[in-house]
Amino acid sequence: MRSEELLARLVALDSSSRAGNRPIADFICNYVDGPGVRIIRNPAPQGDKLNLLIARGPRRDDRAGLLLSGHMDTVPFDEPDWDSDPLGLTRRDDRYVGRGVCDMKGFLALAVHRFGELNPAALRRPLVLLLTYDEELGTLGARHFVETWGGEEPLPRAAVIGEPTSFGVVRMHKGHLRLRVELLGRPGHSAYPMTGINAIEIAARVVDRLGELKQCLTTELTADSPLFNPVPYTTLNLGTISGGVALNVIPARCQLGLGIRLLPGTTGAEMAERVRQAVELGIGDAAPAAAGGYRVEVIGESPAMSTTDAAPIHRALCRRLGQSESRAVAYASDAGWLRRLDLDCVLCGPGSIEAAHRANEWLPVADFDRAERLVADLVDEWCGAETAPAG
Close Cβ partners of 87 (under 8 Å, ≥ 6 residues apart): 11, 12, 13, 14, 77, 98, 99
List b or e across 146-170, with b for residues whose CB sees 16 or more CB atoms inside 10 angstroms: beebeeebbbbbbbbbbbbbebbbb
Q: How far apart are CA 171 and CA 75, in angstroms?
A: 24
Residue of 266, 265, 263, 268 lying closest to 229 (CA atoms) = 263
Q: What is the C-alpha radius of gyration for the chain, rounded to an integer number of angstroms?
A: 24
Residue of 260, 261, 258, 267 lying closest to 295 (CA atoms) = 258
Q: Are 191 and 171 in contact (CB under 8 A)?
A: no
Q: Are 348 and 305 in contact (CB under 8 A)?
A: no
Helix axes 365-383, 106-116, angle to 10 degrees: 40
Whether residue 230 has a cis bond before it, omega within 30° of 0: yes
* Pairing mode of beta strands 344-347, 158-161: parallel
From residue 341, how far is each of 148, 159, 236 by CA, in Å?
11, 11, 28
Catalytic residues: 73, 135
Close Cβ partners of 373 (under 8 Å, ≥ 6 residues apart): none
